[in-house]
Structure 1
Amino acid sequence: MLDTSIWWQVYPLGSTGAPIRDRSGDDSGHRLQQLEPWLDYLLELGCNGLLLGPIFESETHGYDTIDHFMIDRRLGTLDVFDRLMRACNERGIRVMLDGVFNHVSRNHEAVAAGRAGSTDWEGHESLATLHHADPLVQDKVVEIMEFWLARGISGWRLDVAYSVPPEFWRAVLGRVRQNYPHAVFLGEVIHGDYTQIAQAGTLDSVTQYELWKAMWSSLNDANFFELAHALNRHQEFSNHMITNTFVGNHDVDRIASKVRQDKVLLAVAMLMTLPGSPSIYYGDEQGFTGMRGEGFAADDPVRPPLPATPEELSPIGQWVLNAHKALIALRRQHPWLATGTVEVLDNTNETISYTVSSNDRQIQVDVWLEPNPGVHVHTGGNTLYKL
Structure 2
Amino acid sequence: MSHVTAQPKGRAWPPAGLVYGVDPSRFQDSDGDGIGDLPGITKRLDHVAALGADWLWLLPIYPSLRRDNGYDVDDHESVDPRFGTLDDFQQLVEGCHERGIRVMLDLVLHHTSERHPWFQAARRDRTSREGAYYIWADEPIDAPGDEPVFPGEESGVWSFDDEAGGWYHHQFYGFQPDLNVANDDVFEEIVRIATLWLERGVDGFRIDAAMPAMRAKPTEGTGADAARFYDRLRGRLTEVRDDVVLVAEADVPPAELAVLADHRRVDAILDFSLNNSLFLALARESAEPLHETLDGLDRTVQASARLNFVRNVDELDLEQLSEDERQEVFRVFAGGRAGFLYGRGLRRGWAPMMGDARRFRMSLSLLFALPGAPLIMYGQELGIGDDLSVEGRDACRPVMQWSAAGGGGFTKAADAPLILPAQRSGPYDFGHVNARSQATDDSSNLVLTRRLAQVRSRLGLATQPMRRHTLPHSPSVIALSAPGLLTLHNLAATPAEVFEAYGAKPLLTERWDGHRLGPFGFAWLRR
Asked if 1:273 is matched to 2:395, the reply is: no
- In the alignment of these two chains, the number of paired residues is 375
Assess, with a 3 A threshold, how the Cα gap between structure 1 residues 86 and 200 changes in structure 2: closer, same or farther.
Answer: closer
Higher alpha-carbon Rg: 2
Contact 1:350 1:369 in 2 (8 A): no
Q: Which amino acid aligns with 1:204?
A: D
Q: Secondary structure at the match of 1:278?
A: strand
Q: Which residue of 2 aligns with 1:53?
A: 59
Q: CA deviation at 1:339?
A: 4.5
Asked if 1:146 is matched to 2:221, the reply is: no
Q: Secondary structure at the match of 2:456?
A: helix
Asked if 1:335 is matched to 2:384, the reply is: no
Asked if 1:35 is matched to 2:41, the reply is: yes
Assess, with a 3 A threshold, how the Cα gap between structure 1 residues 203 and 79 changes in structure 2: closer, same or farther.
Answer: same
Contact 1:56 1:65 in 2 (8 A): yes
Q: Tell me, in whole angstroms, the C-alpha distance in 1 between the residues paired with 2:465 and 2:402.
A: 39
Counterparts of 1:182-197 in structure 2, within 5 Å, are 182-192=243-253, 193-197=256-260
Assess, with a 3 A threshold, how the Cα gap between structure 1 residues 303 and 126 changes in structure 2: closer, same or farther.
Answer: same
Asked if 1:217 is matched to 2:225, the reply is: no
Contact 1:10 1:50 in 2 (8 A): yes
Q: Secondary structure at the match of 2:77?
A: strand
Q: Which residue of 2 aligns with 1:82?
A: 90
Which structure shows the higher strand fraction?
A: 1
Q: Tell me, in whole angstroms, the C-alpha distance in 2 between the residues paired with 1:379 and 1:185.
A: 42
Q: Which residue of 2 aligns with 1:323?
A: 448
Q: Which residue of 2 aligns with 1:116?
A: 134
Bigger relative contact order (CA 8 A; separation at least 6)? 1
Contact 2:270 2:307 in 1 (8 A): yes
Counterparts of 1:1-387 in structure 2, within 5 Å, are 1-5=12-16, 6-16=18-28, 31-60=37-66, 61-111=69-119, 112=122, 113-114=130-131, 115-118=133-136, 119-165=168-214, 166=226, 167-192=228-253, 193-199=256-262, 202-239=265-302, 241-252=304-315, 253-260=348-355, 261-290=357-386, 297-307=391-401, 312=409, 314=431, 316=433, 318=438, 319-346=444-471, 351-357=476-482, 360-371=483-494, 381-387=504-510
Q: Which amino acid aligns with 2:242?
A: P
Q: Residues 279-312 of structure 1: CA distance to partner in whole angstroms, max 9, x if unpaired? A: 1111111111226788xx4222222222567994
Q: CA deviation at 1:34?
A: 0.9
Q: Secondary structure at the match of 1:386?
A: strand
After the TM superposition, which of the residue ranges 362-371 and 269-278 deviates more from structure 2? 362-371
**Aligned-residue CA RMSD (Å):** 3.1
Contact 1:116 1:131 in 2 (8 A): yes
Q: Which residue of 1 aligns with 2:331?
A: none
- Unaligned 5+ segments in structure 2 are 1-11, 123-129, 137-167, 215-225, 316-347, 410-429, 439-443, 511-527
**TM-score with structure 1 setting the length:** 0.87
Assess, with a 3 A threshold, how the Cα gap between structure 1 residues 106 and 379 changes in structure 2: closer, same or farther.
Answer: farther
Assess, with a 3 A threshold, how the Cα gap between structure 1 residues 123 and 86 changes in structure 2: closer, same or farther.
Answer: closer
Q: CA deviation at 1:325?
A: 1.6
Q: Tell me, in whole angstroms, the C-alpha distance in 1 between the residues paired with 2:54 and 2:398.
A: 22
Q: Secondary structure at the match of 2:238?
A: helix
Q: CA deviation at 1:386?
A: 1.1
Q: Tell me, in whole angstroms, the C-alpha distance in 2 between the residues paired with 1:124 and 1:373.
A: 47
Q: Residues 230-263 of structure 1: CA distance to partner in whole angstroms, max 9, x if unpaired? A: 2323433443751111112122342213322221
Q: Secondary structure at the match of 1:105?
A: coil
Which structure shows the higher helix fraction?
A: 1
Q: CA deviation at 1:380?
A: 6.8
Q: CA deviation at 1:104?
A: 0.4
- Unaligned 5+ segments in structure 1 are 19-26
Assess, with a 3 A threshold, how the Cα gap between structure 1 residues 240 and 87 changes in structure 2: closer, same or farther.
Answer: closer
Q: Which residue of 1 aligns with 2:424?
A: none
Q: Tell me, in whole angstroms, the C-alpha distance in 1 between the residues paired with 2:118 and 2:288.
A: 48
Q: Which amino acid aligns with 2:134?
A: A
Q: Residues 219-239 of structure 1: CA distance to partner in whole angstroms, max 9, x if unpaired? A: 233232212212323433443
After the TM superposition, which of the residue ranges 348-357 and 42-51 deviates more from structure 2? 348-357
Q: Tell me, in whole angstroms, the C-alpha distance in 2 between the residues paired with 1:223 and 1:173.
A: 39
Q: Which residue of 2 aligns with 1:21?
A: none
Contact 2:15 2:462 in 1 (8 A): no
Assess, with a 3 A threshold, how the Cα gap between structure 1 residues 120 and 344 changes in structure 2: closer, same or farther.
Answer: farther
Q: Tell me, in whole angstroms, the C-alpha distance in 1 between the residues paired with 2:198 and 2:497.
A: 43
Q: Which amino acid aligns with 2:378?
A: Y
After the TM superposition, which of the residue ranges 368-377 and 119-128 deviates more from structure 2? 368-377
**TM-score with structure 2 setting the length:** 0.65
Q: CA deviation at 1:368?
A: 4.6
Assess, with a 3 A threshold, how the Cα gap between structure 1 residues 300 and 52 changes in structure 2: closer, same or farther.
Answer: same
Q: Which amino acid aligns with 2:454?
A: A
Contact 1:363 1:377 in 2 (8 A): no
Contact 2:261 2:305 in 1 (8 A): no
Assess, with a 3 A threshold, how the Cα gap between structure 1 residues 75 and 366 changes in structure 2: closer, same or farther.
Answer: closer
Contact 2:313 2:397 in 1 (8 A): yes
Contact 1:53 1:98 in 2 (8 A): yes
Assess, with a 3 A threshold, how the Cα gap between structure 1 residues 144 and 381 changes in structure 2: closer, same or farther.
Answer: same
